[in-house]
Amino acid sequence: MSDTDAPLVKKVTIIGFGLIGSSLARAIQLHGLAGELVACDASHDACATIERLQLADSVGSDPATAVRGAGLIVLAVPMGAYAEVARAIAPHLAEGAIVTDVGSVKAAAIEALAPLLPAHVHLVPGHPIAGTEHSGPASGFATLFEGRWCILTPPEGTDAGKVAVVAELWRRCGSMIEVMDAAHHDKVLAITSHLPHLIAYTIVGTAADLAEDAKAEVIKFSASGFRDFTRIAASDPTMWRDIFLNNREATLEMLQRFTEDLTALQKAIRRGDGDTLYEMFARTRTIRRSIVDARQA
C-alpha cells in the first residue's frame, strides 16, 4: 500500500462524474492510483465529456457493467440516487470489494447503502471536504483535494484494512484524513456547511424576489458582501436538496440556534444598542484568525 510505484487498487470504478467524481478521477490518473479506471454516469452528455477529456480508461452508463471486477467502487452521485445505484450494482460486486462514497451526510448514506449491499463487500463511507460552486465532469480538477480534509465514517466492525485503503487513496490525492462516527460528522457539517448553504440560498433568494430594477442594482453593487453568498448559492441544487432531506434534524437544530442569535442582533439594532453590536462583531474576528492559522482559509 505504501509502495508508490504500484497502483493502490487494480480496478477502480467511479459512479457519478460531477465535480467531485471527475476531480477524483483526475487525481487518480495524475498519481497513478488505479491499474484501471472505469467511469460511469447516467447522463450520455457526461459520458461524452468524460471520453473527450479522457478522464477514465472506459466509460459507460450502466452501473452493473461498470463495477464488474472492481476492487474499489466510489459512489459520487447525488444522495437521492444511492438506493437505486446500490440495487443496480449489488448483484455484480466482486467478492471483498470496497464500496465508498463522497456524500455530505453520512448516517443517511449508511442507512441507504448498508442494507442493499451484499455481506461480502466492505462499506467505507467517506466525505472529502472540498468543492467549488461549479458542477459537471468538465468542472473538476486534480488538485481539488490537496490540503483539504477527508472524513471517513466506517460503521463499527468495518475491516480496518479496507478503511486503510480508502484513507490511502485520499491521502495520495493530497488530503488529510479524519475518522469519526457518522452521526458526529453530520452534526459538525450541519454548522460548517449545511447551515451556511441554507443561509446563502435564502439571502440570494430574498434578493431574487426584489423588483427587476432593484435586482439589477443588487448585481451591480454585489462586491459589498452579497457576491460571496451568491458563490455558495450557485452550488448544485440536486445535491443540496438531498443534503437537507438527509440531514434534517441536525440542520434544523443549528438553524434554531442561528435564528435565536439573529433575533438578539435584530433587537440590538432596533434598540440602537451599539455596545452589544460591537461586542458581537468583535468576537467573530478571532474565529477567522483561527481558520487562517489552520490554513483552511
Query: What residues between 202 and 241 interact with a copy of itself by CB under 8 A?
Result: 202-210, 214-215, 217-235, 237-238, 240-241
Cβ of residue 136: shortest distance to a copy of itself, in angstroms? Answer: 13
| CB burial of residue 291 (10 Å; 0-12, 13-18, 19+) | exposed
Instruction: Point out which residues pair with 38 in neighbouring strands.
Output: 13, 58
Number of neighbours of residue 98 by Cβ within 10 angstroms: 25
Q: Is residue 146 at the binding interface for a copy of itself, with CB under 8 A as the rule?
A: no
Tell the residue number behind the cell numbers 454516469, with chain if given.
41
Phi then psi dihedrals of residue 150, to 5 deg: -125, 125
Q: Is residue 173 at the binding interface for a copy of itself, with CB under 8 A as the rule?
A: no
Q: Is residue 296 at the binding interface for a copy of itself, with CB under 8 A as the rule?
A: yes
Q: Is residue 23 at the binding interface for a copy of itself, with CB under 8 A as the rule?
A: no
Which residue lies nearer to a copy of itself by CB, 159 or 261? Answer: 261
The upper half-sphere exposure of residue 234, i.e. CA atoms within 13 Å in the direction of its Cβ, equals: 11
Q: What track of x and - describes contact with a copy of itself for positions 25 through 54 (by CB under 8 A)?
A: ------------------------------
Is 101 within 8 Å of 80 (Cβ atoms)? Answer: no
Phi then psi dihedrals of residue 191, to 5 deg: -85, -35
Q: What track of x and - describes contact with a copy of itself for positions 72 through 91 (by CB under 8 A)?
A: --------x-----------
How far apart CA 96 and CA 224 sit, in angstroms, is 54
Is 104 within 8 Å of 239 (Cβ atoms)? Answer: yes
Phi then psi dihedrals of residue 62, to 5 deg: -100, 110
Q: Is residue 183 at the binding interface for a copy of itself, with CB under 8 A as the rule?
A: no
Is 195 within 8 Å of 188 (Cβ atoms)? Answer: no
Q: Is residue 201 at the binding interface for a copy of itself, with CB under 8 A as the rule?
A: yes
Q: Is residue 251 at the binding interface for a copy of itself, with CB under 8 A as the rule?
A: yes
Tell the residue number behind the cell numbers 455484480, with chain if given.
92
Cβ of residue 243: shortest distance to a copy of itself, in angstroms? Answer: 9
Q: Is residue 248 at the binding interface for a copy of itself, with CB under 8 A as the rule?
A: yes
Cβ of residue 164: shortest distance to a copy of itself, in angstroms? Answer: 21
How far apart CA 245 and CA 105 sit, in angstroms, is 10
Question: Which residues between 269 and 288 bind a copy of itself (CB under 8 A)?
Answer: 269-270, 272, 274, 277-278, 280-288
Cβ of residue 162: shortest distance to a copy of itself, in angstroms? Answer: 24
Which residue lies nearer to a copy of itself by CB, 164 or 255? Answer: 255
Cβ of residue 8: shortest distance to a copy of itself, in angstroms? Answer: 24
Cβ of residue 81: shortest distance to a copy of itself, in angstroms? Answer: 13
